[in-house]
Amino acid sequence: MDTAIKTVILSTLIGRPIYFVMKKNNKTAKKIFSSLIFIGLSALISASGQHPNLLLTKQGVKEIQASLGKYANFDKSVNELKAIADKALNSEIIVPLPLNEGGGYTHEKHKNNYYEMNAAGTMYQISGKSEYAEFVRKMLMKYAELYPTLGLHPSKRSETPGKIFWQLLNDCVWLFHTALAYDCIYDYLNSSQKTNLEKNLFRPMAEFISNGSPANNEVFNKMHNHGTWATASVGMIGYVMGDKNLVEKALYGSNKDNKSGFIRQLDVLFSPDGYYTEGPYYQRYAIWPFMVFAQVIENNQPELKIFSYRDSVLLKATNTLIQCAYNGNIFYLNDALKKNYKTQEIVYAVDIAYKNNPKNTFLLDIAQQQKSFIVSDAGIATAKSLNIVKYEPLQFHSVLLRDGANGDEGALGIIRAGKKDKTQMCLTFKATSHGLSHGHYDKLSISMYDGGNFVLTDYGAVRFLNIEPKSGGNYAKENHSWAAQTIAHNTVTVDETSNFNGNIKVSSLHHSDIQYYDFSSNQIQIISGCENNAYKNVKMQRTVAVIENKTFSYPIVIDIFRIISDSTHTLDFPFYYRGQMISTNIQYQKFTAQLNPLGTKNGYQHLWVEAIGKNEKPVTQFTWVEGNRFYTITTLGNSNTKYLMTRTGAGDPNFNIRNETAFMMRQPMVKKHTFVSVVEPHGFYDENKEITENFLTSIRKIELLADNEEYSAVKISTVDNNTFLLIALNKDFDKDREHSIKIDNQTVQFKGNYYFNELTK
Amino acid sequence: MDTAIKTVILSTLIGRPIYFVMKKNNKTAKKIFSSLIFIGLSALISASGQHPNLLLTKQGVKEIQASLGKYANFDKSVNELKAIADKALNSEIIVPLPLNEGGGYTHEKHKNNYYEMNAAGTMYQISGKSEYAEFVRKMLMKYAELYPTLGLHPSKRSETPGKIFWQLLNDCVWLFHTALAYDCIYDYLNSSQKTNLEKNLFRPMAEFISNGSPANNEVFNKMHNHGTWATASVGMIGYVMGDKNLVEKALYGSNKDNKSGFIRQLDVLFSPDGYYTEGPYYQRYAIWPFMVFAQVIENNQPELKIFSYRDSVLLKATNTLIQCAYNGNIFYLNDALKKNYKTQEIVYAVDIAYKNNPKNTFLLDIAQQQKSFIVSDAGIATAKSLNIVKYEPLQFHSVLLRDGANGDEGALGIIRAGKKDKTQMCLTFKATSHGLSHGHYDKLSISMYDGGNFVLTDYGAVRFLNIEPKSGGNYAKENHSWAAQTIAHNTVTVDETSNFNGNIKVSSLHHSDIQYYDFSSNQIQIISGCENNAYKNVKMQRTVAVIENKTFSYPIVIDIFRIISDSTHTLDFPFYYRGQMISTNIQYQKFTAQLNPLGTKNGYQHLWVEAIGKNEKPVTQFTWVEGNRFYTITTLGNSNTKYLMTRTGAGDPNFNIRNETAFMMRQPMVKKHTFVSVVEPHGFYDENKEITENFLTSIRKIELLADNEEYSAVKISTVDNNTFLLIALNKDFDKDREHSIKIDNQTVQFKGNYYFNELTK
């Protein structure tokens, strides 16, 4: 069956038969399901022909009008939109010649313009007041005058510049919002006005976005969030204009063959678990055009059942995005900046997801946290329900989010443990595919949130979003030279070289794998992954367990990281921690009169070495305080292990890098090495109240009792002489297999991939 | 009259006549008023002889009992106390042999013990349940057993070690709390139990504190917060035991001559404006024993009218403390850590201040922010009033807080400007006396809070309070080598040497002076100070004006700093800023492959030089972002000016110093130099919402039109060609004097010490 090939001939309105060649278990699988939606295009575009009919419908307008004054937070959202629109009405309309980059004057002006048009268009529908429509008309006319005169944006920063903005992406976002505004005032305009706008502005812009250059065409057809913005914006203006051709291109790609386009993106960019391959930060950004365009499709071509498509992948993706957060803050993974549930894109996603599946009542819990709604059918539906539906509070749970269109390209593991409140521990384990252009070389990296804080950190991105003096508001060059490199992550770097030698093309061919995971126990949650391609002839296995036991005040992390090679390598293994260093048992020298970088390339040039140490004892401990808790890493070293304390900021001529600290283990020239570490949150600290409790870790000793091809066995001893044994299998994973292992003078019998227990005293 | 000497003979119960030698206008002035209270001691100690009668009285107990269930936050405070007491009742009583330093086991244990005794004692009174009293009794008996066996605490860190704690201070705090507990269970004990406790514990401890060694005696009689804790604790146990002798020593010093003791502290440690000479952080700490002991005195010797003493200096001091904060966080000045209104000491102060002057209804506003009360007469009075009294919200206002017992030793200026909310600007200007052992060499330094954040910072203290591995929880040695030094502050350092060569004895002989100030205008608030002793043959004048004008989105700061000498000096003038550097117009080189310290001593050894720059243009600008706002320093330099970007953390072998950034002007080898700078908050930044507004300063140019002995004239021009003229007088200050100055081809006429106006275009 693996090689079975099926050919399906589809007859469509596009006018020619499409041949689908499908291989089972590869990326084009499940095309049969996909084809159903493809056939669905036979329906009329915008069957009703009425306006508005993108996000807001005539029915939605009535409901909003009838609801005003009833739902305080929805009213607030309407009033915020009204305030934007009213301020716009009282200001001069300025449509400047494009000049600046992100955050610069013309950039922000054009951005405000589309927000203003969107706000005024919506307010026109809600209030019926023609001055709002007139404002949108006037501004659109100015754009219709300007647009035909524009060449490419003068900035040379992007490989695909827009005309209004420095990058094409932002032109798409402009069209996305403006399509919504145009839809709202469509019936207000006479036909010559519409003809003018469509001829001079919308059609040329749609053409520019989808086919303005080979590079633009490539973006339009690309499996990437830029492709989503491009297809969504072109599709949306297509629906408003009743332009079937544009809609088909948006849905099925330039060639309308479904090898690209929005539908294909749904197949490829999300895993079966609704994980978006670029990672949570871009999942948040992409969910915006995905959900909005899907709602537009639903309103105009309900027969496509877009929200049911691929086992409701979009609804699943919204839920997955919600899970990829700690206290409402989206995880830092790959390129990422600070974003939380209150961003408008997540407001859009939550409202639209709820409207299209009101069974997910936990979305109402997010909505009440957001205290904000889209002024649309979805927004009013959500706001209403919030007042009448009894909803479940959002529950975070440990989850494995498979990556890859077929879910077979590794996964992101998320373990939650401890008290179910804002201080709960959350550990992420990244064993995914590369994640396209925003991916980092961070195979088997972990991050840890605890006590309400980001404790073991991922740098995220080097970018000052929309601050023009900082690299035009775009990614700084240090994003590549630092943030993306392996050494910037809580994982092992081999021979001072990043995974796949930092080559995205090679990295994109591979992915890490999950060996096993089990989140079913109250005592231990465990995940194990491997990476065998990132370094030539080096195999890496990492098994991370989160333990909850009365011996410890909070959950602790046991981390076994095995490196096996047939040649010798130097291994660097940092833990980037946030907080203030308190104590360590190593003998270290802190450099007081001179700092130098750790290396010259692959991210090493950005690390100041603050201190270097050795430890005569095998068990090394390093303690810091962050927020109200102390944290100790206890790790097993030997006489060759070097310990480094580093701080980012070297090799940074333009002050782009934040200063962050790491405690790093360096194991020089080994063929095999297994790092065993325990991270324990402990005690309590309150500077304001002057309370200090348990600033010492309860971990006394780590022993690696066995470490071979079959399994690794780790014994942890506490200061109170409690001992715990963790045995983690290293191969032949099978959750049902029985094992009997003799270790430490006793025979341990267990079923499955691991064993964990407290040893009797 | 200046040399007039009066001798007053006072007859007191102490049994011998006291001779008061008073010089007018020196530190012993106003002793006539003081003597009134001195005479008052003739009243009986604890007239009623009833218990409890320190903080809690029989009447207070009744009121609390009658109020339970009525005031949610007061109930919460009772329940918190009850939880501490109940937990204590169910735990083993452990009174360990003293061993550890701050934050260590025995330190925290003894601290918890006194909190537990205080809680249980209070709960005994409220509930009448004898198990609470029994718990206190048992624990006290254990202390009575242990105490006679104790020598000095084994830690060698303090010059005045305690017996229970590493420093005597903490023994005083122990006695302070335990006296309250003892008072609560006094009537529960039989006389032999009391005799045992007093003989073996309380009297020896009071003796040890007041006279255990020459050093202890010195502390007891010292004008310092340690002296306050010592006298308050001894006085309080004296009142409980009805020991007049101890009370008299506490009130009037070891020799009962009122040359020292609590009353004398009220004369000396506070200025007439209620400013405490060690600064706001220690004002917060000292206010605790001051207010509590004052309430105890009031309850036992109401005829002393302690709260009216010295124009109600204690009530004034509470109000002053409240004003020394930004968004509830106490200012960082001198040695200081993070403390806010919610600390228990400020809860004590607010409740007691309100109880003793219910007219200050704004204290209720603080109380509702604290959501916490002392379980005492004062606490219930405040909690009740909060529910029935219409209170004014706390208003912050610009204020000059004079330093020195007579208010003639300089002052701390506080300017508030802009929108009256959490984003309001607050600028502090420090021209005070040294501030005893916790003072810094920071003459004429400023700090700025804005937009809800600490923007131009003062480092505060290098201390990890109660974290034993960090210098025993006490001040680290870098507190002196870094935090106290002049270069650590936003002021001018001359020749890389701190004020007064870092000699506290010399520094304590002098103080800065305020030349003039005016906070009366909506347009400009101005303060001008001078310091003529910090450096030999160097005169320093600094004039800082906060301008509010429609040209600027937020208030801006104009800063004129004049240095005059007859010999050449190198001047370093840093602005410590919090946030991320965005842009500058200087040509700078950032060191990417090696960092070195700026110097080798006087704090310079702790500064890594990250970048060095020059500017061919006279107007230098440096922009950063913090929170939601951008900030630009615009400063006037010349071709000799060097610009340094520094980061703290060099010369710090034990990771004690936080990494903080400065933009520094260095003016080499000048006899005279005037720094003119403008600090402008501008624009808006929201990474989450991706909004950027006005990341460029509106300041285009600064010109120093004139700068001479008489006055300095500064012209500020904006990018929109608005111009402003500030003329600041440099001598002969007189708010009523008329001036006519020809400047920039026009004659400016004004009355007073300064002129400010927008120039017509």
Residue ranges covered by each domain of chain A: 1-42, 43-388, 399-759
The rounded distance, in Å, linking the Cα atoms of B405 and A725 is: 66
Tell me whether residues A650 and B337 touch, CB distance under 8 A: no
Res. A32: pLDDT tops 60: no
Tell me whether residues A590 and B693 touch, CB distance under 8 A: no
Q: Residue B3: its pLDDT value, please?
A: 37
Averaged pLDDT of chain A = 93
The rounded distance, in Å, linking the Cα atoms of B316 and A618 is: 59
Q: Which residues in chain B (69-88) have CB-CB distances under 8 A to chain A?
A: none
Averaged pLDDT of chain B = 93
Residue A691 is encoded by which pair of tokens? 């309370």
The helix, strand and coil proportions of chain A, stated in percent and rounded to the nearest 5, come to: 35, 30, 35
Tell me whether residues A695 and B658 touch, CB distance under 8 A: no
Residues in contact with A380: Cβ distance below 8 Å, sequence separation at least 6, in sequence order: A60, A63, A64, A67, A74, A373
Q: Residue B43: its pLDDT value, please?
A: 41
Q: Residue A19: its pLDDT value, please?
A: 35
Q: Residue B351: its pLDDT value, please?
A: 98
Tell me whether residues B695 and A468 touch, CB distance under 8 A: yes
Task: Looking at the structure, give the CATH architecture of the domain made up of residues A399-759.
Answer: Distorted Sandwich (2.70)
Contact B9, B39 (CB under 8 A): no
Strands B411-417 and B580-584, by their bridges, are: unpaired
Contact A36, A246 (CB under 8 A): no
- Contacts A328 to B, Cβ<8 Å: none
Contact B664, B641 (CB under 8 A): no
Res. B447: pLDDT tops 90: yes
Query: How far lies A721's CA from each of A250, A756, A759, in Å?
Result: 65, 17, 10
Q: Residue B436: its pLDDT value, please?
A: 93
The burial class, CB within 10 Å (0-12 / 13-18 / 19+), for A6 is: exposed
Res. B24: pLDDT tops 70: no
Res. B577: pLDDT tops 90: yes
Q: Residue B48: its pLDDT value, please?
A: 57
Strand locations in A307-351, DSSP E?
Answer: 325-326, 329-330
Q: Residue A575: its pLDDT value, please?
A: 98
Q: What is the mean pLDDT of residues B550-572?
A: 98
Residue pLDDT, tens place only, A287-311:
999 999 999 999 999 999 999 999 9
The rounded distance, in Å, linking the Cα atoms of B678 and B305 is: 49
Q: Residue B745: its pLDDT value, please?
A: 85
Q: At B143, phi and psi to the nearest 5?
A: -65, -40
Rg, Å, chain B Cα set: 28
Residues in contact with B184: Cβ distance below 8 Å, sequence separation at least 6, in sequence order: B51, B52, B56, B121, B122, B124, B125, B133, B136
- Contacts A344 to B, Cβ<8 Å: 689
CA angle B136, B140, B145 (to 5 degrees): 155
Q: What is the mean pLDDT of residues A358-378?
A: 97
Tell me whether residues B693 and A108 touch, CB distance under 8 A: yes
ipTM of the complex: 0.91
Q: Was domain A43-388 assigned CATH 3.30.390.50?
A: no
Does an H or E element contain B15, and which? none
Residue pLDDT, tens place only, B90-102:
999 999 999 999 8
Q: What's the gap in Å between the CA of B711 and the closest CA on chain A?
A: 38
Tell me whether residues B592 and A651 touch, CB distance under 8 A: yes
Residue pLDDT, tens place only, B632-685:
999 999 999 999 999 999 999 999 999 999 999 999 999 999 999 999 999 999
Identify from B687, B693, B694, B719 which residue to disrupt to test chain A contact, counting A C-beta atoms within 10 A and taking the largest count: B687
| H helices present in B276-426, as ranges | 280-300, 309-323, 344-356, 362-370, 377-388
Q: Which residues in chain B (465-504) have CB-CB distances under 8 A to chain A?
A: 465-470, 473
Residue pLDDT, tens place only, A620-641:
999 999 999 999 999 999 999 9
| Annotated catalytic residue within B434, B438, B510, B606 | B438
| Annotated catalytic residue within A114, A124, A182, A282 | A282
A744 confidence band (pLDDT: 50, 70, 90): confident
The helix, strand and coil proportions of chain B, stated in percent and rounded to the nearest 5, come to: 35, 30, 35
Q: What is the mean pLDDT of residues B375-396?
A: 95
Q: Is A61 on the interface with B (CB under 8 A)?
A: no
How many residues make up chain A in this entry? Answer: 761
Q: Residue B9: its pLDDT value, please?
A: 32
Tell me whether residues B467 and A343 touch, CB distance under 8 A: no
B430 confidence band (pLDDT: 50, 70, 90): very high
Tell me whether residues B695 and A469 touch, CB distance under 8 A: yes
Q: Residue B134: its pLDDT value, please?
A: 98
Facing B690 at nearest CB: one of A466, A470, A655: A466
- Contacts A688 to B, Cβ<8 Å: 338-340, 342-343
- Contacts A608 to B, Cβ<8 Å: 595
Res. A1: pLDDT tops 80: no
Residue B432 is encoded by which pair of tokens? 């005070």
Identify from A285, A329, A632, A695 which residue to disrupt to test chain B contact, counting B C-beta atoms within 10 A and taking the largest count: A695
Residue pLDDT, tens place only, A155-208:
988 999 999 999 999 999 999 999 999 999 999 999 999 999 999 999 999 999
User: Which residues sit opposite A20 in a β-bridge?
Assistant: A8
Q: What's the gap in Å between the CA of A739 and the closest CA on chain B?
A: 44
- Contacts A595 to B, Cβ<8 Å: 594-596, 608, 650
Q: What is the mean pLDDT of residues B404-423?
A: 97
Is A147 a known active-site residue? no
Tell me whether residues A595 and B590 touch, CB distance under 8 A: no
- Contacts B624 to A, Cβ<8 Å: none
The rounded distance, in Å, linking the Cα atoms of B320 and B350 is: 12
Q: Residue A244: its pLDDT value, please?
A: 96
| Annotated catalytic residue within A51, A153, A177, A438 | A438
Query: How far lies B493's CA from each of A68, B457, B538, B693, in Å?
Result: 62, 16, 11, 36
Q: Residue B49: its pLDDT value, please?
A: 78
Alpha carbon A533 to its chain centroid, in Å, reads 23
CA angle B607, B467, A613 (to 5 degrees): 60
Q: Residue B298: its pLDDT value, please?
A: 98
Tell me whether residues A652 and B339 touch, CB distance under 8 A: no
Q: What is the mean pLDDT of residues B544-570?
A: 98
Closest chain B residue to the Cα of A112, Cα to Cα: B691
Closest chain A residue to the Cα of B648, Cα to Cα: A592
Is B177 a known active-site residue? no
Sign of the alpha-carbon torsion through B735, B736, B742, B744: positive
| Annotated catalytic residue within B282, B449, B475, B604 | B282
Q: What's the gap in Å between the CA of B688 and the closest CA on chain A?
A: 5
Rg, Å, chain A Cα set: 28
B380 confidence band (pLDDT: 50, 70, 90): very high
Res. B85: pLDDT tops 50: yes
Residue for token pair 């992954």: A529
Residue pLDDT, tens place only, A102-149:
889 999 999 999 999 999 999 999 999 999 999 999 999 999 999 999
Q: Residue A27: its pLDDT value, please?
A: 43
Written as one string, the DSSP assignment of B314-355 is HHHHHHHHHHSEETTEEP--SS----BTTSHHHHHHHHHHHH
Q: What's the gap in Å between the CA of B228 and the closest CA on chain A?
A: 20
Taking Cα atoms as reference points, which of A575, A702, A718, A693 lies closest to residue A630?
A693
Tell me whether residues B582 and A464 touch, CB distance under 8 A: yes
Q: Is A109 on the interface with B (CB under 8 A)?
A: no
Q: Which residues in chain A (344-373) have CB-CB distances under 8 A to chain B?
A: 344
Res. B41: pLDDT tops 50: no
Q: Which residues in chain A (693-712) have CB-CB distances under 8 A to chain B?
A: 693, 695
Identify from A174, A341, A467, A474 which residue to disrupt to test chain B contact, counting B C-beta atoms within 10 A and taking the largest count: A467
Residue pLDDT, tens place only, B692-735:
999 999 999 999 999 999 999 999 999 999 999 999 999 999 99
Q: What's the gap in Å between the CA of A222 and the closest CA on chain B?
A: 25
Q: Residue A34: its pLDDT value, please?
A: 46
Contact B324, B283 (CB under 8 A): yes
Tell me whether residues B685 and A467 touch, CB distance under 8 A: yes
Res. B623: pLDDT tops 80: yes
- Contacts B651 to A, Cβ<8 Å: 592-593
Does an H or E element contain A717, and which? strand A711-718
Q: What's the gap in Å between the CA of B656 and the closest CA on chain A?
A: 8
State yes or no: cis peptide before A52, omega within 30 of 0: yes
Q: What is the mean pLDDT of residues B414-420?
A: 97
Q: Is A659 on the interface with B (CB under 8 A)?
A: yes
Q: What is the mean pLDDT of residues A302-326?
A: 97
